[in-house]
Chains A and B, each alone.
Chain A
Amino acid sequence: MSATADIASVPRERSPAQRALRRLLRRRGALIGLALIVFFLLLAVAAPYLAPDDPLKTNFLLVRKPPSGLHLFGTDEIGRDVLSRVIWGARATLLAGLVSVTIAIGLGVPLGLVAGYVGRWFDMLISRLSDAMLACPPLILAIALAYTLGPSLSSAMIAIGVTYTPIFVRLTRAQVLAVKVEDYIEAARAVGNSHLRIAVRHVLPNVIPPLLVQATVSIATAIIAEASLSFLGLGQQPPAPSWGSMLNVAKNYIDNAPWMAVWPGLSIFLVVMSFNLLGDGLRDALDPRHR
């Protein structure tokens, strides 16, 4: 890229966000990740138009049939079209992954930031609270929530989000503790910056890389957790599909109907991969030292 072209396309100063976006788009991995995520989001949104079949329609004469021209991905244990269920399942799955992690970040990061930055009794309180929550078996929380909130996908997302919160609290806090003593923070403080400004402008950016990694990693575990919860009556209720619950059922037929597992499994893998690729790209793009 020549210098003149650079100047021509981007006339003057650019905001940090613009610069970050440009860096992001330059990375091939991140682009692939982004493209796949967009693809799966489209799948989820346009499921009614894309699915070749009704995902709930059973055919008792075609139970556990291998992939064929009629059913490209085969059929499941009660004769439903696996392809259509994978397409429709993108909805619940992506929701479960994204919303629950958003909840966990929304609750966990501010708490961890404040705890690490303010320290003292507030840190003690928040840290001990998150210890206590981590020590509490998630199963109990899940069943209790299922009963109080009623069985639905949204209560599953809340349950997962709440159980994941302490991890984000601890990660953020640890990173804040490490960054807090760096020279540039001391400098910022010496110049008379307000605490809020320091926390948001100087501390937060340094906390982001491990959080991004954890968030992209958590999406994977949340997708799988949703399956276990739907089994307890907390997640997506049958017969509506989610990839996790499809995989959960498929494990009973590993020997005689492997295709029931392959497609939802592959989809989970691809989604997890794309979120991680995108996360990597974001991490690089947001790292001020990294060009």
Chain B
Amino acid sequence: MSGFLVRRLATILPTLLFVTILVFGLQQLLPGDPAVALSGEDRDPSVIAYLHQKMHLDDPLPVRYGYWLRDLAHGDFGESIRIQQPVLGLILEKLPVTAQLASMAILIAIVIGVSAGIVSAVKKDSIWDYGANLFALWGLSTPNFWLGIMLILLVAVKLGWLPASGYVSPAEDLRANLAAMIMPAFVLGNSYAAVLMRHTRSAMLQVLNADYVRTARAKGLDERVVVLRHALRNALIPVITLGALSFGELLGGTVLTESVFTIPGFGKLIVDAVFNRDYAVVQGVVLFTATAYIVLNLLADLGYFLVNPRMRG
């Protein structure tokens, strides 16, 4: 187990390096001269020339990657060319926002998704099962931007219960912060709940028929104990995988939902950066989100061992 952990930890750095090379390379595949994209409406040639020089755009690709890596080694993530702020500052500014939104969303997703999945598996082919499935399918087939706008029109405009969009820092005003975050978190959580519900249901059905669960039942154990202690435990493998993937995805920022609710998180940051070819921002954010992803996947792998001790072999 500890050997496994050490080996896995040792791969984090090379993986990160690989991610940054991948993203750096892909960005160069993107059409569009960043200097032209950033030079604005007037596209003054002298400005373009200046940006070329400032961003080392005329150097070969490996050299530019080298520059970036060298600065990074000195703790310098570079600067957003578009708004001229240090990338690290931008990331630290957005990180708590995205982390809060992602946590709230995944919490909602797990609470709704896993419990609905259990209920619909245990009460298979009952009205509960159908209801939970209908809910899940609705969550899956409703695009986030769509649900978001509908909720804003209903809850903010028609009912006037919550602010339509925007973000308030929890340090400034916790209640206003929650009021602003609850709708986007629900919209996000709703779509992931659907996926988790489907997986929980399927995995539960699979294990509910497994021998050891039958044995447990035969021993006369209370059905609740059977379901929660014996079945759920083993049903969790795909749920953990998906949960980790979803959380990683959420930490990477959720473009459409953040756009609709004007939440200043990673999603908006990176999309604007990609569209404006603001390379330093893209690189910096990807480095952060990739780290999150890798750590989460490592945790997921550890999670397998926890729920199924036999996998430690």
Contact = CB atoms under 8 A, between A and B. Distances in A.
Answer yes or no: A and B touching, Cβ < 8 Å: yes
Nearest to B133: A276
A107 interface: no
A85 interface: no
Contacts of A283: 202, 205
Interface stretch (A7-15, A63-71, A75-83, A208-216): A208-216
B92 to A, nearest CB: 19
Interface in B272-293: 274, 282, 285-286, 289-290, 293
Interface string B2-17: 0000010001001100
Nearest to B146: A251
Interface stretch (B66-74, B83-91, B170-178, B305-313): B305-313
A247 B271 CA distance: 21
Contacts of B195: 217
A141 interface: yes
A143 to B, nearest CB: 5
28 contacts: A131-B293, A132-B22, A135-B252, A135-B290, A137-B270, A137-B274, A141-B26, A143-B274, A147-B31, A170-B245, A170-B297, A171-B242, A175-B237, A180-B311, A181-B313, A209-B206, A213-B199, A213-B202, A247-B146, A251-B146, A254-B149, A254-B153, A265-B142, A268-B141, A269-B141, A272-B137, A273-B141, A280-B202
A177 B304 contact: yes
Nearest to B125: A29
A287 B210 CA distance: 11
Given A143-B274, A283-B202, A132 B15 contact: yes
A46 interface: no
Interface string A260-291: 01000100110111001000100110010110
Q: Which 10 A-B pairs have the closest CB atoms?
A: A135-B290, A272-B141, A144-B29, A210-B238, A269-B141, A220-B140, A135-B293, A147-B31, A128-B15, A132-B19
Query: Per DSSP, are chain B's interface residues mostly helix, strand or loop, or mixed?
Result: helix
A137 B297 CA distance: 17
Contacts of B241: 170-171, 174
B248 interface: yes
B141 A134 contact: no
Interface string B212-238: 000000000000000000000010011
A152 interface: no
B198 A217 contact: yes
Given A139-B271, A210-B202, A128 B18 contact: yes
Contacts of A287: 205-206, 209
Given A147-B31, A265-B142, 7 more contacts: A137-B252, A174-B241, A175-B238, A213-B198, A213-B202, A251-B149, A289-B210
A270 to B, nearest CB: 8
Interface of B: 7, 11, 14-15, 18-19, 22-23, 26-27, 29-31, 133, 136-138, 140-143, 145-146, 149-150, 153, 194-195, 198-199, 201-203, 205-206, 209-210, 234, 237-238, 240-242, 245, 248-249, 252, 255-256, 270-271, 274, 282, 285-286, 289-290, 293-294, 297, 300, 304, 308, 310-311, 313
B238 A137 contact: no
B245 A134 contact: yes
A281 B45 CA distance: 63
A223 B29 CA distance: 26
Interface string A157-197: 00000000001001100110110110000000000000000
Contacts of A212: 202
A148 B22 contact: no
Q: From B31, B145, B238, name the one whose CB has the most chain A CB atoms within 10 angstroms.
A: B238
A148 B202 contact: no
Contact of A210 (B30, B199, B285, B294): B199
Q: From A124, A128, A133, A265, name the one whose CB has the most chain B CB atoms within 10 angstroms.
A: A128
Contact of B26 (A131, A136, A224, A273): A136
A58 interface: no
A6 interface: no
B255 A139 contact: yes
Contact of B308 (A132, A178, A251, A265): A178
A136 B286 contact: yes
B15 A210 contact: no
A247 B242 CA distance: 27
A144 B140 contact: no
Q: From B206, B234, B293, name the one whose CB has the most chain A CB atoms within 10 angstroms.
A: B206
A273 B137 contact: yes
Q: From B30, B136, B137, name the one whose CB has the most chain A CB atoms within 10 angstroms.
A: B137
Given A136-B22, A177-B304, A128 B138 contact: no
Interface in A77-113: none
A133 B18 CA distance: 10
B137 A177 contact: no
B143 A227 contact: yes
